[in-house]
Structure 1
Amino acid sequence: MKKLLALCAAAVAISAAGSAHAARDYVWAAGSSTVFPFTTRVAENFGRKTGMKAPKVESLGTGGGIKLFCSGVGDNFPDIANASRRMTAAEFDTCRANGVNDIVEMKVGFDGIVIAADRNAPTYQFRLPHLYLALSAKTLRGGQFVDNPYTNWNEIGPGLADNRILVYGPPPTSGTRDAFIELGIEAGALTFPTVQALKARDEDEFKQTTHPLRREGWVDAGENDNAIVQTLTKTPGALGVFGYSFMEENQDQVKAMPIDGVEPTVPTIADGSYPLSRSLYIYVKKAHVGVTQGLQEFVNEFASDAATGRGGYLQGRGLIPLPADQHEAMKSVASGMTPMRRP
């Protein structure tokens, strides 16, 4: 009886949201280009195992996926948002304002952001300050914030090649870009006392000064990380920013650069010693469970030992698994559909 009442309540919620259609007979996930191949692989296995329709998976970028996810409840909106960063408090509030309550947050594994080049390119010995000085629209020079004056990498620091600064990376809607700015640009900026003082004095001004990327030298290359890989093989001297999993899949064509002397590897990303390590997430609408056909089963498959556990099939795809205790906690969240708190 309780289960029946819960199903009825969920159906009423979707009806109240204005859906004029029957509940979908397939799961819909949208968001991060980094999480996209992992969700696609789970979708394929889910379809084979259950005989249900394979979920629809879209690569819109983390920001775009969460925006669509938070736009409402019902079959016109995704059941799942894929994210290569954590949902922000502002996004959570937008969800609530649009009637999207009881959001289930699942951390599914780790990935690293790499700075890569064609395999025949020189190896750059990057340090975090180099990333800030080279790629921020405004940078420190002589103790003052000025429009970025640097054109070649060897102007930034020793150990960097005499190549022009040209980096292909993700657009503003991408969680990879958000994480790169936080873990690379912002962290590099905060190695300077002047920037530390600015942040202590005014957090908003600090972000406005350090977060925008330069227009000359940084190229928004869309949400297709494979396209960036292909660009690097055809553009001598160019660098690219994308997820470790894509680098691993294409290591016959590109190589990753060390950051602060640490190479991006499965162990260094998992233990956080690689500076550009990050967590990957999926967000699920609890109101759609029991209404969208197969949603609970799909989430259970994502959280399973076979998929995201150590040695699971997503590890073979490049996902770096959670420690055992975190993985077990994710399985409990998935089976119980435990809603998250406001970030």
Structure 2
Amino acid sequence: MRLTLLLTAAAVALTACGQQSAQKAEGQVSGGGSARNQVWAAGSSTVFPFATRVAETVARTTGGTAAKVESLGTGGGIKLFCSGTGAGYPDIATASRAMKKSEFEACQANGVTDIVELKIGFDGIVVANAKGAPTFNLTREQIYRALAAELPQGSGFAQNTAANWSAVAPGLPNERILAYGPPPTSGTRDAFVELAMEKGAEKVPAMAALKKSNEDEFKAKSHTLRRDGAWVDAGENDNAIVQTLEKTPNAVGVFGYSFLENNMDKVKAATVEGVAPSFEAISSGEYPLSRSLYIYVKKANVGVTPGLREYVTAFVSDAAAGRGGYLQDRGLISLPQAEHDQVKAAAQALTPMAAPTK
């Protein structure tokens, strides 16, 4: 009798263990975060300091585990975010540009649906150099002519051989063209080629004509940066670019305004079309290289990943992303109040985004 009771108890225990294992596996596959005890955000190097600051604040105020925040670049973060559901993939993608149609479709194909898009503020892309180096006053056309891999010549294109900035336009410093910037996976890189390179190319008659006749080729030509050493992919860490500029005073760097804001004692920014990057010029759109910043949230993970709702709510709160909030001290340019209120409402309702058109 005793043996029978022991065998029965063992069978019950094994059954319960099996059920728990099945439940754990199911949670990993469908729920998005039950096997994790913390929020996971990955993506933009520009949004990284903001996401980290929010993680620190939420952990301090709630006593929970701080969110895990990774700087992979916008493209890398969204790719990982869209790769699947479950604990093996981030709850949040941080981005320094809007999600592309192709990325949204990849999300859908992998079961990542009901994505909540939240604009957290603005940023500007700066072209900067060391404090003691010559001052640059640039146009977007000059940026394009200095950094494009090929330039129009005759009826075709030729490799860009400009060695010094003074060869690009009279009045520019007689310094070697050497620019350190983000790699192709970065949202900063995407925004730079769209806002600086592409807009600058439109000022060149041959390129403007190409855009009318073949827009795909126009984009390919205007977005391709030099590979002869004039442009250097410096990785996703914008702070590393700032450090490089201190050691290489003849070089310029391309990075987000927040890194300029936090390193004013080390670097200075060029004007673009006569406008210097500033809080006011970026928020008004007067500064030509301004862009929006976003976070993307898996709605299905809210209520599953501990602390996710609290983290998202805190990120878009008045105390963080509002005018005068603590993220402003890190360099975030706040949204206009009416738009900020709309974002807060969307975060509360977890309203899924519509499919991007491009």
What TM-score, normalized to structure 2? 0.90
Q: Which has the larger radius of gyration?
A: 2
Matches within 5 A, 1:145-294: 145-216=157-228, 217-294=230-307
Q: Quick one: structure 1 residues 149 and 143, their matched pair in 2 at CA, closer, same or farther if it must change by over 3 Å?
A: farther
**Partner Cα separation in structure 2 for residue 132 and residue 334 of structure 1:** 39
TM superposition shift of 1:14? 6.4
1:299 aligns with 2:323: no
SS at match of 1:306: coil
Contact 1:124 1:159 in 2 (8 A): no
Q: Aligned with 1:305: secondary structure?
A: coil
Counterpart of 2:88? 76
Deviation at 1:147, TM superposition (A): 1.0
Distance 2:312 2:95 in 1: 15
Query: How much is the aligned-residue C-alpha RMSD, in angstroms?
Result: 1.8
> Does the Cα contact within 8 Å between 1:229 and 1:254 map onto a contact in 2?
yes
- Counterpart of 2:137? 125
SS in 1 for 2:78: helix
Measured against aligned partners, the alpha-carbon deviations of 1:59-102 in whole angstroms (never above 9, x if no partner) come to 00000000000000111000000000110000000000000000
Change (3 A) 1:47 1:77: same
SS of 1:322's equivalent in the other structure is coil
Say which is worse superposed, 290-299 or 196-205, in terms of deviation. Answer: 196-205
Residue in structure 2 matched with residue 313 of structure 1 by the alignment = 326
Give aligned-pair identity as a percent: 61
Sort the Cα spacing of 1:119 and 1:142 in 2 relative to 1 into closer, same or farther, 3 A.
farther
Residue of structure 2 in register with 1:4 after alignment: none
Contact 1:133–1:140, Cα closer than 8 Å, also in 2: no
Supply the distance in 2 between the matched residues of 1:313 and 1:322 (Cα, whole angstroms): 14
- Equivalent residue runs for 1:38-77 within 5 Å: 38-77=50-89
Distance 1:280 1:22, change over 3 A: closer
1:140 Cα deviation after fit: 2.5
| Residues 88/192 of structure 1: CA separation in 2 closer, same or farther (3 Å cut) | same
Once residues 26 and 122 of structure 2 are traced to their aligned partners in structure 1, the CA distance between those partners, rounded to angstroms, is: 33
Q: What one-letter code is carried by the residue in structure 1 that aligns with 2:68? A: K
Partner in structure 2 of residue 341 of structure 1: 354
Note the alpha carbon deviations across 1:26-65, whole angstroms, 9 max, x for none: 0000000000000000000000111111000000000000
Encode CA deviations 1:158-208: one digit per residue, 9 max, x unaligned: 221001100000011100000000000000001122212211222211122
Q: Are 2:29 and 2:87, in contact at CA under 8 Å, matched by a contact in 1?
A: no
Is the CA contact (8 Å cut-off) linking 1:36 and 1:57 kept in structure 2? yes
Q: Which runs of 5 or more structure 2 residues have no equivalent in the other structure?
A: 1-22
Contact in 2 for aligned 1:19/1:76 (Cα 8 Å): no
The verdict on how the C-alpha distance between 1:138 and 1:329 changes in structure 2, with shifts beyond 3 A counting, is same
The answer to which of 141-150 and 110-119 deviates more is: 141-150
